Structure 1
Amino acid sequence: MPGRRMIIMLSLVLSVVLMLAGYKTYWIYQQLQRLHGPTPPVSVATSNAFEIPWQRQMPAAGTLKALQGINLSTEVPGVVTQLHFESGQRVEAGQTLLQLEHQTQQAELDVAKADQRLARQNFERGRKLVDISAISKGEFDRLGAELNRNTALVAQRTAALEKKHITAPFTGTIGIRQVNVGDYLQSTQVIASLQDTRRLYVDFYVPEQAVQLIRIGQPVQVEVSARPGTFSLAEVSAINPIVDDSTRNVLVRATLPNQRDDLLPGMFAHLRVLLDEPTAQTVIQESAIAFNPYGQYVYVITRGNNGEPQASDNGDTPQLIAEQRLIETGERRNGLVVVSKGLSKGEQVVTAGQLKLKHGTPVRISIDRSQPDGQPMPHQEGAE
């Protein structure tokens, strides 16, 4: 009996060991199958490389300046008696803006004119008398000098009187008034600013290496903070013939029309100098580019190995493969990058999910609405 029980117990233990060994063997087989089996496709977002007209641009920063702009002031001191303008008013060239107290200068001018008239009468009498030798030639010369002296004195008094009022030297918009009637003005005291903003200058600097790319008449896109996303079109009108020895930059000036009068002198401007005519270039989304020690690369979607169709596990559709490809890029703008080498128009590149990929990884394309195939170019406002 004891021997039979021992045999039964050993049989049970052996059965359990065999079952555990079989389960472990099956589990190892499954892991080996999973390890050597096909990799499940990785979900990625893609977009196509497309071709658009592309114009090279040079970015710069500049400042708007009025075509003509001054601070109005007086040459002589005096009390303000009349004001002929309001703040923000548009004035014409030659329009009287301000009058100072001028009674003393007017009286001095009247006296000088009276002396001039008397000197002219004496000179005319002397002309007749010298012809009949009633007076000497020297006396006649003295009468002529007296007339010239009084004429010059009239011109001097007239100029002094004219300095008692200010006129607009050019047509423009006057700024906020700084004086009132009755104020006593010192010489050179600012009354208001006068700006001609029908056209504006845009002054900016470019590196000395880039001067050879700039020419007179070249178009420049101008954007200001008051109108973000809207570009006005200016033209290069002057290039400074000297390089700043402290910054090694060259001052360039562009002229910008301002018919709507919505741009003001002093505004900061973002500029894009258009360097050449647009040419067709292949571009991709900037998010498609990745980096490694060898340079820039993208993952291109291909069908199977080496672009040959390869059936999927269920045999329905060809499997999509991510091919890692080195590229050379050019200018970047508005989320787009020019690809100069390594990619062709129409090829499909991965724009999201690159971290999960390596060369030859199977992929499945998912929709990513945040990555459009193209972006609208910035609105340009040309000169009227």
Structure 2
Amino acid sequence: MLRRRMLTMLGIVLVVVLLLGGYKAWSIYQQVRMFSAPKPPVAVAVATASERAWQARLPAVGSLKALQGVNLSLEIAGTVRAIQFESGQQVKAGQPLLQLDSDVETALLGTAQADLGLAQLDYGRGAQLVDSRAISKGEFDRLNAVLLKNKATVAQLKASLAKKNIVAPFSGTIGIRRVDVGDYLASGTVIATLQDLSSLYVDFYVAEQAIPQLHVGQPVLVTVAAYPGQTFEGTISALNPKVDDSTRNILIRATLANPQGKLLPGMFANLQVVLPQPHNQVVVPEGAVAYTLYGNSVYVVGEKKDEQGKPVTGADNKPVLVAERRFVDTGERRDGLVIVSKGLSAGEQVVTGGQLKLTSGAAVSVSPDATLKAH
């Protein structure tokens, strides 16, 4: 009886084990089928690598400076009597701008001119008397010295009086005035800034290796943050004859017209020096290139080949397309395009959208990238 019960229990256990083993085997079989089944192609956007004449440019940054610009300041101290300009006004060369109190200098000039008149009379009489030897030659020399001294005094007072009136040294735009009528100003006080904005300089530095590519008259493209998307054209007007021995950079100056007065001195400028002799380069959209520490790469779309090198076709009798990851050497980037100097040929298709879902050799279905602009 006991033996029979044990045999029954062993039979039940065996049946359970067989059932569990069968279920596990069926589960593994389903997983194998699932993983061995071909994956559906990944939908990606593509663009064609093209070859075009590429005008190389040398990037740099610089600062704008006025063609002529000064801070108007006083050479001598005095009290402001009159201000003859408005802030932001356009002024002409020689136009009076500010007048200081000059009563003392005017009075002193009158006294000096009276002394000069008397010295001239004494000198005239002495010239007549010295010929008749009524006075000595030494006395005549003294009269001549007095005359010259009085002339110098008058000239000195006239120069001092002229400095009481500030005039515009050149035509331009005057800035915000910093003084008021009645202020006592010490020597060197700045009253306003004067800038000639008809043209501007832009000074920038480039590495000494770029010197052979630069020359006077070379075009320069300038952009500033104040006017995004707008480019101002200029030309190189001077190259510094000395390289900075601490940075090994050379100072370059370009000149650009500013007829509308949009650009102002002191603005930060981004520049691109247009280099001569354009070359044909293979370019692709920037979005096609993946930048990593291990190198830059693109996914190239092509037909899948069998062992004999023949295209593999799918169920629809169309060639199966796969994406191959390829490492490339890239160069200058501009206007949404990047140069590929090595690793890619013109006419090859590269993936511009959907790279995150790809692995090398993955099947893909392609569609044009609607986000790309026509170049």
What is the TM-score normalised by the length of structure 2? Answer: 0.84
- Give me the identity figure in percent: 54
Distance 1:130 1:104 in 2: 38
Q: Say yes or no: does 1:286 pair with 2:304.
A: no
Is the CA contact (8 Å cut-off) linking 1:305 and 1:321 kept in structure 2? no
Q: Deviations over 1:81-121 (max 9, x none)?
A: 11111111111111111111112211211222222222223
Q: AA paired with 1:65?
A: K
- 1:205 CA drift (Å): 2.3
Gaps in structure 1 of 5+ consecutive residues: 1-13, 376-384
2:346 aligned residue = 345
- 1:215 CA drift (Å): 2.9
2:316 aligned residue = 314
* Cα root mean square deviation, aligned: 3.0
Distance 2:294 2:112 in 1: 91
Residues 71 and 314 of structure 1, relative CA distance in 2, 3 Å threshold: closer
- 1:224 CA drift (Å): 1.0
- 1:36 CA drift (Å): 5.0
Q: Say yes or no: does 1:146 pair with 2:167.
A: no
Residues 85 and 292 of structure 1, relative CA distance in 2, 3 Å threshold: closer
Q: AA paired with 1:147?
A: L
2:192 aligned residue = 192
Residues 146 and 301 of structure 1, relative CA distance in 2, 3 Å threshold: same
Residues 290 and 373 of structure 1, relative CA distance in 2, 3 Å threshold: same
Distance 1:157 1:149 in 2: 12
Q: AA paired with 1:338?
A: I
Q: Deviations over 1:206-243 (max 9, x none)?
A: 23443444333332221111101211122222333344
Q: Deviations over 1:160-208 (max 9, x none)?
A: 1112111111111111111122222121111111111212221222234
1:89 aligned residue = 89
What is the TM-score normalised by the length of structure 1? Answer: 0.82
Residues 83 and 356 of structure 1, relative CA distance in 2, 3 Å threshold: closer
Residues 251 and 32 of structure 1, relative CA distance in 2, 3 Å threshold: same
Residues 130 and 352 of structure 1, relative CA distance in 2, 3 Å threshold: same
- What pairs with 1:224-303 in structure 2 (closer than 5 Å)? 224-290=224-290, 295-303=295-303
Q: AA paired with 2:332?
A: E
Count of aligned positions: 357
1:4 aligned residue = none
1:10 aligned residue = none
Deviates most, 239-248 or 117-126 = 239-248
Residues 360 and 130 of structure 1, relative CA distance in 2, 3 Å threshold: same
Deviates most, 28-37 or 346-355 = 28-37
Distance 2:85 2:96 in 1: 8
1:329 aligned residue = 330
- 1:294 CA drift (Å): 6.7
- 1:318 CA drift (Å): 2.6
Distance 2:94 2:305 in 1: 82
User: What SS does structure 1 have at the residue aligned with 2:70?
Assistant: strand
